[in-house]
Each structure stands twice: as C-alpha cells, then as structure tokens.
C-alpha cells in the first residue's frame, strides 16, 4: 500500500498543477488584452493626469502579470516537490499560493467597493472630449472623438445642451449618422460592464483554486513528512 500510494501521488498531482499553470496563463492573457487592447489604450492615451483611469489601467496590468507569475511558480514548485518529495519545495509552493491569496482578496474587495469607478472614469474621458469638440471643434480632439466612435461602434450622446448633430456628422461614420448610431455612454458602459463581469468571474475562480492549492500543498507537506518519519521515502516501483 505504501508503494502504491507513493507511486500514484505524483501522477495525481501533476494534472492539478497543470490547471494552475493554465489559470496563470489565462490571467496573463487577460491582463495583456486589457492593457494593450484598442479600447483600453485609446482611453488611456486620451485621459488627463487628473483622471484615475490611467492609474487603474497600469495597476491592473502589473497586478495581473505578477499574479500569473506567482501562480505558475507555485504550480512548478508543487510539481517539483511532488516528484522529489521535498518538504522545502512544498513549503515554497504553499508560500506562493498564500502570497497570491493575499493579493487576490484586496483586489476582489476593491472590485466590489469601487464597482463603477472604471466605468465612470472612462465616461468622464468621453464627456470631456465630446464637450471640447462641441465648443470649439478642435481638430486634435475631433480626431480623438472619431477614434472613440470607431472603436466602440457608437455615435454621439444625448446632450442637454442640444446642438449635437454637427458634432456627430463630423466625428461619426457615415453609416452611423444615417442610422442615428448608438449612444456612446451606453455603449461604453455596456462594454466595460461585460469586461468587468468577466474579470470578477476569473477573480472568483482564482481565489477558489488558490485556497485549494494551499490545502493541497499542506496535505503534500504532511504526507512527505510522515512518509519520511516512517522510512517510506524513496523511489518505489509498483510491480
């Protein structure tokens, strides 16, 4: 029984570690898309220094990359610890999972306590650009507004000041002007809400797997520890 248990433990743990690596790669991919995606880079380049979006944009990218690297490292350490039956590597894997967990909890709390901050900051950017174009028809701002309309496939907004037809005619695609387009504030809010819902789902899944990783590495550490005390540590072949 000892031989069978010792032989099957690496085989059962490696697929689970592969899941952690895939999860880390998924987080890195989402962070890269969020940072370098057309919609997000466009708003980040246009936003003013006083707007909080640029800070959130960069912070989310670096947090996601660090989190993905931590999860991948934890999975690799756990795999090596399982194969080599090393308590030291197991403890390091547990530390990486715990470090990821300590970063995920504040991120999840921030997501739910500042649920509309990202949406509000992006819509503030659009409002600023739109109103500047409406007031003085700046060619530089007009180019930025046109780029936003093309990226989000929308056209203009409902303004209490009126006189928006001229702005929309100059900054919207011809098909959007003919079809009356889509209100940009609503389109931006819908796009960001869908993206943030996906981020929240991935955060929840990652927290669950991180807790599972801590439990798994703890069990592995105790298993190696007691196997060592019972003189069952070593390489076994099941015949």
- Which 3-state string (H, E, C) describes the chain? CHHHHHHHHHHHHHHHHHHHHHHHHHHHHHHHHHHHCHHHHHHHHHCCCCCCHHHHHHHHHHHHHHHHHHHHHHHHHHHHHHHHCCHHHHHHHHHHHHHHHHHHHHHHHHHHHCCCHHHHHHHHHHHHHHHHHHHHCCHHHHHHHHHHHHHHCCCCCCCCCCCCHHHHHHHCCHHHHHCCCCCHHHHHHHHHHHHHHHHHHHHHHHHHHHHHHHHHHHHHHHHHHHHHHCCCCCCCCCC
The more confident residue out of 160 and 148 is 148
In a domain, 238, yes or no: no
**46 assigned to some structural domain:** yes
Least confident span in 136-140, 197-201, 206-210: 136-140
Average the pLDDT over each of 87-91, 119-123, 220-224 and give the range with the smallest value. Answer: 220-224
CA atoms within 13 A on the CB side of 129: 30
Which of 194-203, 206-215, 229-238 bottoms out in mean pLDDT, i.e. has the lowest?
229-238
Residue 14 has pLDDT above 60, yes or no: no
| C-alpha span between 122 and 107 (Å, rounded) | 20
**8 in any annotated domain:** no
Asked whether residue 237 is domain-assigned, the answer is no
* Residue 185, token pair as written in the block: 């504030």
Q: How many CB atoms lie within 10 A of CB 209?
A: 19
pLDDT score of 177 more than 60: no
Residue 48 has pLDDT above 60, yes or no: yes
Has residue 226 been placed in a domain? yes
Look at 131 and 204; give whichever has higher pLDDT.
204
pLDDT above 60 (res 162):
no
pTM above 0.75, yes or no: yes
Q: Provide the domain limits for residue 126.
A: 13-155+166-230
Q: Give domain status of residue 235, yes or no.
A: no
Query: pLDDT value at position 7?
Result: 44
Please determine, for residue 61, whether its predicted confidence score (pLDDT) is greater than 90: yes
Q: How confident is the model at residue 2 (pLDDT cuts 50, 70, 90)?
A: very low
Per-residue CA distances from 66 to 3, 32, 94, 95 (Å):
39, 12, 16, 15
User: Based on the structure, what is the number of domains in the chain?
Assistant: 1
Distances 76 to 45, 92, 217, 225 between C-alpha atoms, Å: 37, 10, 12, 20
pLDDT for 4 beyond 50: no
């Amino acid at each position: 029984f000892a031989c069978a248990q010792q032989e099957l433990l690496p085989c059962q743990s490696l697929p689970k570690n592969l899941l952690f690596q895939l999860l880390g790669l998924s987080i890195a991919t989402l962070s890269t898309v969020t940072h370098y995606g057309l919609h997000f880079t466009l708003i980040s380049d246009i936003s003013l220094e006083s707007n909080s979006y640029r800070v959130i944009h960069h912070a989310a990218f670096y947090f996601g990359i660090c989190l993905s690297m931590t999860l991948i490292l934890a999975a690799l350490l756990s795999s090596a610890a399982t194969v080599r039956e090393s308590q030291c590597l197991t403890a390091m894997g547990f530390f990486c999972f715990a470090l990821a967990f300590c970063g995920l909890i504040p991120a999840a709390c921030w997501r739910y306590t500042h649920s509309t901050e990202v949406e509000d900051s992006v819509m503030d950017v659009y409002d600023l650009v739109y109103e500047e174009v409406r007031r003085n028809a700046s060619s530089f701002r007009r180019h930025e507004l046109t780029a936003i309309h093309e990226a989000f496939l929308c056209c203009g907004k409902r303004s209490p000041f009126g006189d928006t037809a001229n702005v929309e005619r100059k900054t919207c695609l011809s098909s959007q002007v003919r079809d009356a387009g889509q209100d940009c504030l609503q389109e931006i809010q819908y796009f960001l809400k869908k993206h943030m819902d996906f981020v929240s789902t991935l955060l929840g899944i990652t927290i669950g797997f991180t807790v599972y990783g801590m439990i798994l590495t703890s069990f592995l550490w105790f298993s190696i520890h007691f196997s060592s005390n019972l003189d069952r540590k070593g390489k076994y072949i099941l015949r």
